[in-house]
Amino acid sequence: MTTVFYGSRAWGLFHRASSSSSSRVWTHPPFVGLSPGRGLSRPPPCRAAHSGVRRLPFATLSQQDRDFFQTLLPGRALTDPEVLEASNVDWLKSVRGSSELLLRPRTTEEVSQILRYCNARGLAVTPQGGNTGLVGGSVPVFDEIILSTALLNQVLSFDVVSGILTCQAGCVLEALSSFVGEQDFVMPLDLGAKGSCHIGGNVATNAGGLRLLRYGPLRGTVLGLEVVLADGTVLDSQAPLRKDNTGYDLKQLFIGSEGTLGVVTAVSILCPRKPSAVNLAFLGCATFPQVLETFQLCRGMLGEVLSAFEFLDSACMKLVQDHLKLTNPIKACEVFVTGSGVLSLLILKRALSPLAESPFYILIETSGSSAAHDEEKLHRFLQEVMTSSLVADGTVATEDSKIKALWALRERITEALTHDGCVYKYDLSLPVQHIYQLVEDMQEHLGTRAKNVVGYGHLGDGNLHLNITSPSHDPALLAAIEPYVYEWTARHHGSISAEHGLGLKKRNYVHFSKPAPALRLMWQIKSLLDPRGILNPYKTLPDRASTD
Amino acid sequence: MTTVFYGSRAWGLFHRASSSSSSRVWTHPPFVGLSPGRGLSRPPPCRAAHSGVRRLPFATLSQQDRDFFQTLLPGRALTDPEVLEASNVDWLKSVRGSSELLLRPRTTEEVSQILRYCNARGLAVTPQGGNTGLVGGSVPVFDEIILSTALLNQVLSFDVVSGILTCQAGCVLEALSSFVGEQDFVMPLDLGAKGSCHIGGNVATNAGGLRLLRYGPLRGTVLGLEVVLADGTVLDSQAPLRKDNTGYDLKQLFIGSEGTLGVVTAVSILCPRKPSAVNLAFLGCATFPQVLETFQLCRGMLGEVLSAFEFLDSACMKLVQDHLKLTNPIKACEVFVTGSGVLSLLILKRALSPLAESPFYILIETSGSSAAHDEEKLHRFLQEVMTSSLVADGTVATEDSKIKALWALRERITEALTHDGCVYKYDLSLPVQHIYQLVEDMQEHLGTRAKNVVGYGHLGDGNLHLNITSPSHDPALLAAIEPYVYEWTARHHGSISAEHGLGLKKRNYVHFSKPAPALRLMWQIKSLLDPRGILNPYKTLPDRASTD
């Protein structure tokens, strides 16, 4: 029996790839380690308390097993430790397994045969997509066999009338985006990690991302799944239909279950039409209640064209200015010149306001089918918020390069934070009216112990990214943050994981968000679908003792 | 042991209340029978083959049980047969139970105590909302205790910033619509039965309805549920959050499970902002491929403001003209006068086209935040489809009364059908390119045996309503229709129930839409959550023998 240790909180070093990059495309292909020049400069580790996990009594890989898989998948049952390295460690390098076998099936039937064999033998399996997860859900913890979806990468069908795409699970999100984009559609989800992540992994983790406000969650846009169960049974609900009311919607069990109930092998998903116009407004607000009031007005006046409503506080702005030398477009009074008419003058400055920092900034994106209409709607909205003093200052862009420059102020906050020292990061879902109160309470709670306590996130989705920095790792500070942050979240009926899932790292905090009967039922469903527990062990489900 | 018989196909007499009424509001309060003047004139029954269902060995109600419930729910444990009559029979009067006890709890705790008691005693329970279901899912089959949600009718909270409504399960959909409407929001679903149906029932049947094309399914808009399990355990996932990625999404199990896994007692649901402008276009097409091409163009050009895309064939138009004396607005060249500018001239008639019937008609609705913008978008779209000859003729309305008049042509088809004789109705979901092929194949398959074979439905959702009439009930005709229609649907990867669920009537046809492993898993989940099978027996799940 071996015991390994993993950094239970080290995951916090990065929040999400999208926030760590100057553009929304971030490439990290499987089997290629991050070269320093390609990704971000990586901050020093802030490892703190470690948790021990004991290996469960699964079988260990025998020569006979290796022979079986070599025969089943000639040239696709990989054992070279160097090849396995990239699959044994997560992108954050916070969890490292010691798998000796990486399987790359091409068909559902091969996945079925792999699982039937592993289930019979009692061999544990970790399904792996693009390995871009942030909670240690996609890598082995011990010697689990890695089942990669990388070669399950075929588009099966695309219906240009309904916009329904059906594809294998290993298709890379960006490749799918390009594919449907050529036919004037978009994928209903977009992530910073889209250059690497697999659609099957997106489904397995119920990925949120940048388009959730507009197109809703995967639970509504995923129309069908093909899943292989632990015993090899293929559960096919791939029918490309918008409506199907024939009994229990079994596919929902697998969305967000992080590979613990079955391996997703194919996905049917509804793609919206590509919007022909995009506008961005970057606004300053004096108070958080004004941010909320602006959001409310925005939902009414921009209605169907609103596609993002993000916020950051002045501390975040200061970080991107100080560490990344980005310019506050409002304070600097920089004029963005756009390509079209209605909003050609883009600085909206209240006549008498000084050139001061705003305590809060809002980023509003519209996406629609008519540039002129969207600009007019946005113009009217901006007139209203300026007239009513909800917003102090603002700037607007309709040109692609300017839009990217404004998005960078929001997306590069995580990168800026890594230059600020050791970062403790939390990804929380809260009722929107409480979303910033947690930041203020944490500031008061920590006082001078923290270097910075900042908040930003997807306000439109009620998703707060709370970040706390200190010059170096500080166990006393961490002890002051946790479990305070989880207790606060639970008290306000929030969720301790808004979009990242539980994986290995958060599973034992889940009781802060889910009551005991729900946790018991989760375990019952796990036992029903995977009685031998071979599928992605040590993930998602809390230790049994905590649910008994 | 008693055996009762129910008309397995009699449900087909009515398709949906929305289609049976001249307005979209249809009231049928619980405990009030349909008086002839209020609802539709009811067609003669077309009962055909009957199926036998045997009572399962549940306990029978004792005096001690009655005493328990009278004490638990003073004045709300009803036994008067006259009071029970309306709850023992479904709206279609096609399924009749013989329950002797109707319970009307006010709190979740009361529901929990009821179920704990019934589970311990082995007493079967039928949860009942507004009793507006069309597949016999909401009424007892034998002597099941009826658990009504009628008094669980309190709004618990509404957040005007996020638009998240939390309410008890017995709130009537129309009352909720009015409530959120006063605050400038809409419910994300709308049904013909909204004057009676309960939100808990909507969730339990995964209701589709008129707004699905725009706002997506309940699986995306329902954010949380409170459910009481068979043993009385309260499973609370009511947190009003847009994002929550903490493990398996258990609430999805209960959406669409028709009360067989638990009783929904409260619902959190995301409400969109109320659109300030609505437009309607009614267009004629020469061929079905042109209908599809028009849909495709429409999705691109109307984009985010498209809220409905319905179709009907010329046979449907003839029925509403012949039986209801409605006027074909295109053929008649009737000019609808609208209240606003852009589309003030509303007849779009190709210069040389004769005043002929079109083989197909399309109804397109836009809903948006700017009347002028939406009208302009619609105008451009109409110019395009007329110029490219996709559409032969059309008329547009922006005024409420005219919009209702055009909607009536689509919504009153079911009513018109009931005047045409005995009607065999099917509610199918199909890949959109095959949606009308079934009607044509059925016409050819039945030849002169049928009086009329017509098709209409929610084209935007891929939902076909196939209707076949004959002068009187015709067993030979029925035998020619079934199982042909189900086999055809299965062959084209469709669903035998698009939006009504399975209930009592369709459960044993489910194998046409769900493979055996899925049916086995459904039964395993049922056994896990309701081991004694007390919750809504004889519903949703196919006979066990068929899944073994």
- Kindly report the CATH number that applies to the domain delimited by B3-150: 3.30.43.10
Q: Which of B547, B72, B534, B515 is nearest to B259 (CA)?
A: B534
> Closest-CA residue in chain A for B209?
A243
Domain boundaries, chain B: 3-150, 155-270, 277-414, 420-512
A244 with B163: Cβ contact below 8 A: no
A141 pLDDT higher than 80: yes
Please measure the distance between the N-terminal and C-terminal CA atoms of chain B and give it in whole angstroms: 24
Q: Which of A368, A249, A10 is nearest to B256 (CA)?
A: A249
Q: Which residues of A touch B275 (CB under 8 A)?
A: 303-304
Q: Which of A430, A465, A464, A469 is nearest to A453 (CA)?
A: A469
Structure confidence at residue A356 (pLDDT): 66
CA distance B369 to B270: 18
- Residue A76, classed as helix, strand or coil, is coil
B368 with A304: Cβ contact below 8 A: yes
- Helices H / strands E in chain B, number of each: 17, 19
Residue of higher predicted confidence among B155 and A161 = B155
What amino acid occupies position B183?
Answer: Q
- What does the mean pLDDT of chain A come to? 85
**pLDDT tens across A94-104, in order?**
799 999 999 99
Cα-trace Rg, chain B: 24
- Residue A235, classed as helix, strand or coil, is strand
Edge-to-edge strands, sheet with B145-148: B77-78, B102-103, B145-148, B125-128
B518 with A237: Cβ contact below 8 A: yes
A317 pLDDT higher than 90: yes
**pLDDT tens across A385-402, in order?**
999 999 988 999 988 899
Judge whether B277-414 and B420-512 match in fold.
yes
Note the Cα B243 to chain centre separation in Å. Answer: 27
CATH architecture of residue range(s) B155-270? 2-Layer Sandwich (3.30)
**Do residues A420 and A469 touch, judged by C-beta distance below 8 A?**
yes
Return the biggest CA–CA distance within chain B: 80
> Closest-CA residue in chain A for B295?
A161
Encoded tokens for A358: 């705003």
Residues contacting residue B547 through CB under 8 Å, at least 6 positions apart: B516, B519, B520, B522, B523
Structure confidence at residue B547 (pLDDT): 54
Bridge partners (DSSP) listed for residue B168: B266
Encoded tokens for B443: 């016409």
Q: Show the CA angle centred on residue B186, arms to residues B183 and B192, nearest 5°.
A: 135
Q: What is the DSSP string of B121-186?
A: HT--EEEESS---SSS-SS-SSSPEEEE-TT---EEEEETTTTEEEEETT-BHHHHHHHHHTTTB-
Picking from A296, A368, A500, the nearest residue to B245 by CB comes out as: A500
Residue with tokens 């007849």: B347
**Do residues A224 and A239 touch, judged by C-beta distance below 8 A?**
yes
Bridge partners (DSSP) listed for residue A40: none
A413 pLDDT higher than 80: yes
Q: Which residues of A touch B493 (CB under 8 A)?
A: 239-241
Per-residue pLDDT of chain B (548 residues; tens, 9 = 90+): 333 222 222 222 222 233 333 222 222 222 222 222 223 344 444 443 335 799 999 999 999 999 999 999 999 999 999 999 999 999 877 799 999 999 999 999 999 999 999 999 999 999 999 999 888 999 999 999 999 999 999 999 998 888 999 999 999 999 999 999 999 999 999 877 889 999 999 999 999 877 888 999 999 999 999 999 999 999 998 777 888 989 999 999 999 999 999 999 999 999 998 999 999 999 999 999 999 999 989 988 998 999 999 999 999 999 999 999 999 998 654 333 344 433 433 444 443 344 568 999 999 999 999 999 999 999 999 999 999 999 988 999 988 899 989 988 998 888 898 899 888 888 899 988 899 999 999 999 999 999 999 999 998 889 999 999 999 889 999 899 989 999 999 999 899 999 889 999 889 999 999 999 999 999 999 999 999 999 999 999 999 865 55
Interface test mutation site (partner A, options B227, B253, B298, B304, max chain A beta carbons within 10 A)? B304
Residue of higher predicted confidence among B58 and A333 = B58
Look at the alpha carbons of A297, A300, A301, A302 in this order and tell me if their dihedral is positive or negative: positive
Return the biggest CA–CA distance within chain A: 80
Strand ranges in A77-233 using DSSP code E only, listed in sequence order: 77-78, 102-103, 125-128, 145-148, 155-159, 164-168, 222-228
A455 — phi, psi (to 5°)? -135, 140
CA distance A160 to A273: 10
Q: What is the DSSP string of B177-230?
A: HHHHHTTTB--S---TTTTT-BHHHHHHHT---TTHHHH--HHHHEEEEEEE-T
* Count of C-beta atoms within a 10 Å radius of residue A216: 23
Residue of higher predicted confidence among B400 and A144 = A144
**Do residues B150 and B196 touch, judged by C-beta distance below 8 A?**
no
Picking from A219, A233, A521, the nearest residue to B250 by CB comes out as: A521
- CATH topology classification for A277-414: Alpha-Beta Plaits (3.30.70)
Element (H, E) at B467: strand B463-470
A421 — phi, psi (to 5°)? 125, -150
Edge-to-edge strands, sheet with A422-429: A347-349, A393-397, A277-285, A360-368, A306-313, A452-458, A463-470, A422-429
Interface test mutation site (partner B, options A242, A270, A294, max chain B beta carbons within 10 A)? A242
Encoded tokens for A71: 């025969």
> Closest-CA residue in chain B for A493?
B239
Residue with tokens 């592993």: A118
Residues contacting residue B7 through CB under 8 Å, at least 6 positions apart: B45, B47, B48, B50, B94, B95
Interface test mutation site (partner A, options B160, B183, B246, B276, max chain A beta carbons within 10 A)? B246
Length of chain B: 548
Q: Which residues of A touch B273 (CB under 8 A)?
A: 299-300, 303
Side-chain half-sphere exposure of A118, counting CA atoms within 13 A: 34
CATH architecture of residue range(s) A3-151? 2-Layer Sandwich (3.30)
Structure confidence at residue A30 (pLDDT): 27
Structure confidence at residue A36 (pLDDT): 26
Q: Which residues of B touch A301 (CB under 8 A)?
A: 369
Structure confidence at residue A454 (pLDDT): 98
* Count of C-beta atoms within a 10 Å radius of residue A383: 12
Q: Which residues of B touch A369 (CB under 8 A)?
A: 300-305, 377
At A506, is the pLDDT very low, low, confident or very high (cuts 50, 70, 90)? confident
Length of chain A: 548
What letter would DSSP give residue A15? Answer: -
CA distance A511 to A118: 31
Work out the average pLDDT over A268-289.
94
CA distance B357 to B355: 7
Picking from B162, B208, B463, the nearest residue to A462 by CB comes out as: B162
Please measure the distance between the N-terminal and C-terminal CA atoms of chain A and give it in whole angstroms: 25
Q: What is the ipTM of this complex?
A: 0.85
Structure confidence at residue B546 (pLDDT): 57
Structure confidence at residue B391 (pLDDT): 93
CATH architecture of residue range(s) A420-512? 2-Layer Sandwich (3.30)
Rounding to the nearest 10 degrees, give the CA dihedral for residues B165, B189, B418, B508.
-90
**Do residues A27 and A38 touch, judged by C-beta distance below 8 A?**
yes
CA distance A209 to A501: 13
Q: Which residues of A touch B517 (CB under 8 A)?
A: 229, 233-236
Q: Which of B214, B212, B222 is nearest to B257 (CA)?
A: B222
Picking from A219, A493, A528, the nearest residue to B220 by CB comes out as: A219
Q: Which of A46-50, A527-531, B425-429, B447-451 has the lowest mean pLDDT?
A: A46-50
Residues contacting residue B532 through CB under 8 Å, at least 6 positions apart: B119, B122, B230
Element (H, E) at B291: helix B288-302
* Count of C-beta atoms within a 10 Å radius of residue B545: 6
What letter would DSSP give residue A203? Answer: H
A237 with B369: Cβ contact below 8 A: no
